[in-house]
Amino acid sequence: MGKLYAWVNPLSFTSELDHTWVTTYDTRKFPYTSLAEVIEAGEKCWLCWGIFHPTGSTSQQPDGYLFETEADIDLSSCLVTPNAASQDDDGAKGTIFLYGIDGVCHQLANQVLYGAVKGGHAPIVEDAEGYWLSSFLYGDYGRTKDAWMRKIAGCTVAAMTTDRPQHGDAPDHLLQHARDILGDDPSVIEAIARKRGEQREIALTILAGDDVSVDEINRSNRIKLAELEAEIGTERFVAVFGYAAEDAPDLVDPAMFAASRGARLAGSEG
């Protein structure tokens, strides 16, 4: 057992979204400057499809701190390999195998934080800027649901306890967030769930090819957001997601997308 800390930094391509990552140490006290220093100190850092950050800082979170939680560090380390870049190490991807298709940093940070699961519930990075957009497009743990459940089942005895939700039993945080904001309006909740499912199918089929561009992915995501806004109304959409569809920032970082695809194609040619 040990402690996990969740952090945020603005994404390099837009200050409207937060990058999330997780550590076993408090960066406010120990601002290590490299992964080598982290490893030498006997600590762990999960980059979560990002680059190494000594500390965090956003306009909403000046020190980058989201929360800390007691967790099974061995379980987190099995689910997602620490101290490695996701674009370079398959284990550091968790089950977010294809960046921008299966998920982004929010989903991978949640996978690490699943090491803190208790009573079937684990903390998520819901207070990161842009999280509910991300959750709509990718879910809490990514689009590869079956792979994620297999990963949980295969990771240590601790993952097999009754604390682990059975397939389909995990909380649907986005739908609960929508109910908390809008009340239990079945038509709105159904629309959010349906449009989310539609985009998942598009992503895992049409957009999953090696030749897809980051612009195509972001454009497809924007189209589905606009469709949902047209169905539930702008006021409700903004209340749930924090942006109007036309103002919503793109979620996929072009630089990280390029790095992830370059590593993938290089691996397929090796």
Instruction: Give 112-169 as a DSSP string.
Output: HHGGG-BTTB----TTSTTHHHHHHHHTTT-S-HHHHHHHHHHSTGGGGSTTSPPTT-
Tokens of 218: 């972001």
- Say yes or no to pLDDT of 187 above 90: yes
Residue with tokens 């999280």: 131
Confidence of residue 162 (pLDDT cuts 50, 70, 90): very low
The Cβ of residue 234 has, within 10 Å, a number of other Cβ atoms equal to: 12
% residues pLDDT > 90 (the chain): 76
Per-residue pLDDT tens digits for 198-223: 998 898 888 878 788 999 999 999 99
pLDDT on residue 76? 97
Strand segments, DSSP code E, in the chain are 2-11, 14-23, 45-46, 65-71
pLDDT on residue 123? 97
Q: 22: closest CA among 120, 144, 112?
A: 112
pLDDT on residue 152? 93
Q: Where are the domains of the chain?
A: 2-269
For the purposes of burial, counting CB atoms within 10 Å of the CB of 209, is it exposed (0-12), middle (13-18) or buried (19 or more)? exposed
pTM: 0.91
Residue with tokens 């990552």: 21
Lowest-confidence pick of 1-5, 62-66, 168-172, 215-219: 168-172
* More confident site: 255 or 37: 37
Confidence of residue 157 (pLDDT cuts 50, 70, 90): low
Average the pLDDT over 252-258 and give the result.
Answer: 91
Burial 139-151 (b: 16+ CB within 10 A, else e): bbbbbbeebbbeb
What average pLDDT is seen over the chain? 90
